[in-house]
Amino acid sequence: MPPQHIAIIMDGNGRWAKERGLPRLKGHERGAANVRPVTEECVAQGVKFLTLYAFSTENWKRPGDEVNGLWILLGHFLELELPTMMKYGIRLRTIGRTHELPEEAQQKLANTIAATAENKALTLILALNYSSRTELADAARRIAEDAKRGALDPATITPDTIGARLYTSEYPDPDLLIRTSGEMRLSNFMLWQLSYSEFYITPKMWPDFGKEDLRAAIVEFHKRDRRFGGI
């Protein structure tokens, strides 16, 4: 069986561009184009959920021209890829504080989410304006609010109580995390959900990560002995 849920930290777009003497946005453009073959391969492999770390809350610190270019690129990506999503039965969803995105980006996301709502082959989840620590803080705030109004007894709080209030409450935790460009860190991504995920780190930068690389990651996943703390 393939992993049910794969999460990817798509790292290396800027460095890929720099190595070729190109502007950083050219690397992001190439990285956006690379989403299509990877999602197509996920469908072919029978993966049901694919989460892509597309924009973190920390990414707002980047130069304004780059950030604005990323939101324009997101709009182009959604328009260009909608036919592919419909063809392959891909449903688009998001996690993160998307209400803080530029209004045009929010509208295009909403339109694409609505258009693909009935697709069932693969759920593609874009992590946008996402921070795992912010997600946990938001979950804690919701728990506190429920307790304050008497809807929740603090003595009954369990890990499931927290999980039900995360952005990802509708989805299973990732079985496999892939990080490109060789970096060995989580970068504030799905800290709760990745507790028992298998990690696959590749030196390839995201624009160069192809279908064969995804297949290699899945092969490696099947070699792992997943005991979840047991024997």
Query: What phi and psi values does residue 221 have, to the nearest 5 degrees?
Result: -55, -40
Catalytic pick among 59, 111, 119, 188: 59
Is 13 assigned a catalytic role?
A: no
Is 119 assigned a catalytic role?
A: no
Catalytic pick among 11, 13, 34, 175: 11
One-character DSSP codes across the chain? ---SEEEEE---HHHHHHHTT--HHHHHHHHHHTHHHHHHHHHHHT--EEEEEEEEGGGGGS-HHHHHHHHHHHHHHHHHHHHHHHHHTEEEEEES-GGGS-HHHHHHHHHHHHHTTT--SEEEEEEEEE-HHHHHHHHHHHHHHHHHTTSS-GGG--HHHHHTTSTTTTSPPPSEEEE-TT--S-TTS-TTTTTTPEEEE-SS-GGG--HHHHHHHHHHHHHS---TT--
Neighbours of 21 (CB within 10 A): 7
Between CA 92 and CA 123 the distance in angstroms is 6
Give the residue numbers marked as catalytic. Answer: 11, 59
